[in-house]
Amino acid sequence: MAEVGFEGLRLRQVAEDVGIDHSTLHHHFATKQDLVGAVAEFTTRQFWPTAPAAPDPVSALRAHLNALHRMIEERPELLVVTAELDLRARRDPGVAAALAAQESGWRAELTRTLAAGNAAGVWAVDPAAAGELVIAAVKGVRLAPALAGPVFAQLETLFLGTP
């Protein structure tokens, strides 16, 4: 998907690329849609280690933003696939449902972290809206990875008061 996009994805080519017979691939993924659902699940799981997890909301958010920034720089193909999936999701309810299911955990963790920051008096934000701001910034910078540094620095300034 990173090389040819969703539209160029062919099950026979995928089977050939991984060195299996196409009938074997069809045994595991009956349709292209099934394969795309598995790709969506695999791709979004790659982001799970970036989830905010620290003893305090400031450290959690900083670690999360830093991990996402590194991922954009170190695994650009992963971000290309997520962009492809997001674009396809606008036209395909099945892909949209798969992505929504996978991204719900990200939204929940961001909202929880931001709400904890509110409770600790660190910032005063609408946790759900602020979480969407982070998600929108991450998804937007995928298309312009050279801007990742300034974008993540701005997010840190907005939420943490430091670049």
Phi and psi at 142, nearest 5°, equal -55, -35
Report how far residue 143's alpha carbon sits from residue 83's, in angstroms, rounded to the nearest whole number.
8
- CATH number of the structural domain spanning residue 82: 1.10.357.10
Number of domains forming the structure of the chain? 1
Report how far residue 58's alpha carbon sits from residue 67's, in angstroms, rounded to the nearest whole number.
14
Report how far residue 69's alpha carbon sits from residue 4's, in angstroms, rounded to the nearest whole number.
24
Q: Is a pLDDT exceeding 60 seen at residue 163? A: no
Task: Examine residue 26 and state whether it is found in any structural domain, yes or no.
Answer: no
SS3 23: helix
Residue of 3, 32, 2 whose CA lies nearest to 15: 32
Which residues, other chains included, contact 91 with Cβ-Cβ below 8 Å and sequence gap of 6+?
A: none
| Assigned token pair, 150 | 């300034």
Task: Examine residue 45 and state whether it is found in any structural domain, yes or no.
Answer: yes
For residues 107 and 135, the answer to whether their CB atoms sit within 8 Å is yes
pLDDT at 141: 93
Task: Examine residue 18 and state whether it is found in any structural domain, yes or no.
Answer: no
- pLDDT, one tens digit per residue, over 4-45 is 666 777 777 777 878 888 888 888 888 878 887 788 788 878
pTM of the complete model: 0.81
Task: Examine residue 94 and state whether it is found in any structural domain, yes or no.
Answer: yes
Determine the structural domain holding residue 147 and report its residue range.
32-160
pLDDT at 116: 95
Task: Examine residue 139 and state whether it is found in any structural domain, yes or no.
Answer: yes
Cα 11 → chain centroid? 24
Q: Which residues of 63-97 are buried (b: 16+ CB within 10 A; e: fewer)?
A: ebbeebbebbeeeeebbbbbbbbbebbeebeebbe
- pLDDT, one tens digit per residue, over 63-112 is 999 999 999 999 988 888 888 889 888 988 888 887 888 788 889 999 99
What would the DSSP string read from start to end of 27-43? HH-SSHHHHHHHHHHHH
Does 49 or 151 have the greater pLDDT score? 151
